Each structure stands twice: as C-alpha cells, then as structure tokens.
Amino acid sequence: MIITLTPNPSLDRTIELGAPLARGEVQRAVATHQEPGGKGVNICRALEASAVPSLAILPGDADDAVLLALAAHGIPHLGLPIGAALRSNVAITEPDGTTTKVNEPGPTLTAQQHLDLVELVLQQAEGASWLVLAGSLPPGLPVDFYAELTRELRRRFGAAAPKVAIDSSGAPLAAAVAAAPDLIKPNAEELAELTGIPDPDGLENDPLVAVEAARRLVAGGVGAVLATLGSRGAVLVKAEGAWLATSPRIVARSTVGAGDSSLAGYLLSEIAGASAPDCLRQAVAHGAAAAALPGSTVPALEQTTPTAVTVTALPTHPKEDDQ
C-alpha cells in the first residue's frame, strides 16, 4: 500500500488552446478537462490506473467537489472535514505543450486541523510501504510540516515506519530535507533552488551538474534524489550510484501532472523490487506518457514504453573523476 498526503488539493481544470496564448485577447478553447488534483492525488490516480493499491489522504468535506470527483473516479481516499471549500486551479496549454498555470492559495487550516491531519495520516500509515508527502502547503500549516510529520512517523513506528517520499518546493521542501526523507523528487528549478545553484538551465543542459547537486543532498542524509529534467529526462542519485534516463522526443500535449506520474512510475517499480536503474526507467516512461496525454490525464502502466528509455550510469563524483 502506498499512501499519499495532499494537504492542499484542488479541482484542476485544463483549457487547451489551438493557438499560442495571446494576452489581453479573446481566444476559444479547443477542449477542456477537469480532474481532482494535487500532487498526491495525481500520484494515487496513476497508481490506481496500474492496479497498485493506494490511499489518498487530504483535507476536505465529503461533499466537496474534489472528494466527489475522487469518488466518481473510484480513487480510494480519506478526507479530513474542514468546513471550507477546496481550491480550484486552472492550466492553459498551447499547441507546443507550453503550459501556464494559475493556482489558488487554498483554504486556511486551523491549529486543531493541523494536529488532526497529522493524526489521520499516522493512523493510516501502519503497514504501508511508502508515505508520499506532496505538493504545496495551505495557509495555516508551518513550512516544516513535512519534516514534522516525517519525524513523528519514525518516532511512532521506528524501523517499521513506511519509507517517506517528498515532492514539494521552496521552503517546505528545504525544511523536509533536514528530516532525511528516503526520496525527494525535485525538478531542475527546485533542485537548483534547494542547492543554491543560480542557473536551473545548467542542470537541464548538463546532467552531471544535476548529479553533483543531488549528491550533496544524499551526502546530507537524503536517501535518494529523483530529479526530473523536462525533455532531457531525469537523473537518480543514491549513495551507491547515479543514473541518467532519456526517452525519445514526444509531442507534448500537456505537462500538467507529468512529474507526479514520474514519481508514481518510480514507486510502482520500487515496490515490485526493481533495480534502481529500472525504477528510473519506469519513472521517465511514465512522465513521457503523461506529457503526451491531454489535461492532467495520468497513464496506466500499459500506456508507457519503458523499453524506449535509455538509462546510463553516471559518476557520482564528477569533479573528482575529472582530476
């Protein structure tokens, strides 16, 4: 069982344009899509599409549009009633795959709801293989919320605690790294911000730069770094090695949720006992398949082509190897 927590879920609406976005103009959409969203929700949707047992935990009343959509999709979920409507997010996609997103802040959680959400997760976590803490934090939760939950999980369950994966950004991700999660999944921009690299493009253009940045995080206690690099694939760095995975170029239809699908692909391979390179291979295959689908649609395992993904072992200490 893989459990996800999405503290700031949303109803995601994607608007597809037939021409480039023209600011200040009136344009007609060629298609629209609406899905329950938020990183953890998307991960559960992808896992369920591949028949991998999962549970999405999120704040939200039973009659909220997000929870009703989860029920309609048959996604196992558990909501914490908060007496407030969840947010809506809008993504606008252009023919070349360029995506513009407008995200609402989400409802403010009270101090008691903060405590109740932590306890709800801990009650469900026993026996799970992974706990994924994913997405932005709503108003009312402290920036170290993910770190707090990770430490409390390990305090309560000890060696039996599920592995913890973090997929967030900014201050919540930086604080979470201090709790030494088993896996983090930044993109190039998030990895650059996390490690103080001024140019995120440098990470996408040179995988060795991304590996060196990720290696510092692993040396600091993070179990593994799965860094997605857009069209250039992804790198995986662990204490025992580093790998780059690339796939053939695709016609991107929407990048919304592609990173979430990548993490889902990694996790479903990891719980099946796959090697680190093969977990990375499936992560990239899942991300590529998601980007080729409309809106925030997630692919099932049979819709991915891991055999098309090339995985290459990389030096974990490139600077030393060049000496």
> Which positions are annotated as active-site residues?
260
Place of tokens 């709503």: 138
Q: pLDDT digits over 13-50, tens only?
A: 989 999 999 999 999 999 998 889 899 999 999 999 99
Backbone angles phi, psi at 99, to 5 degrees: -125, 130
Q: With H, G, I as helix, E, B as strand and everything else as coil, classify residue 6.
A: coil
Q: Where are the domains of the chain?
A: 2-321
Total residues belonging to the chain = 323
Class of the CATH-defined domain 2-321: alpha beta
Q: With H, G, I as helix, E, B as strand and everything else as coil, classify residue 28.
A: coil
CA distance 178 to 189: 19
109 C-beta neighbours (distance < 10 Å), count: 23
Q: What is the DSSP letter of 175?
A: H
Strands 54-59 and 183-184, sheet pairing: unpaired
- Residue 323 has a pLDDT of 37
Query: Strand (E) positions, the chain?
Result: 2-5, 10-17, 29-37, 54-59, 77-80, 87-93, 99-103, 130-134, 163-167, 183-184, 224-228, 234-238, 241-246, 310-314
174 C-beta neighbours (distance < 10 Å), count: 17
CA distance 252 to 231: 9
Amino acid at 151: R
* Residues pairing with 132 in the sheet: 4, 165
DSSP secondary structure of 106-131: -PPPPHHHHHHHHHHHHHHHTT-SEE
Share of the chain above pLDDT 70, in %: 95
Share of the chain above pLDDT 90, in %: 79
Contact between 132 and 2 under an 8 Å Cβ cutoff? The reply is yes
Q: pLDDT digits over 163-181, tens only?
A: 999 999 999 999 999 999 9
Q: What rounded mean pLDDT belongs to the chain?
A: 92
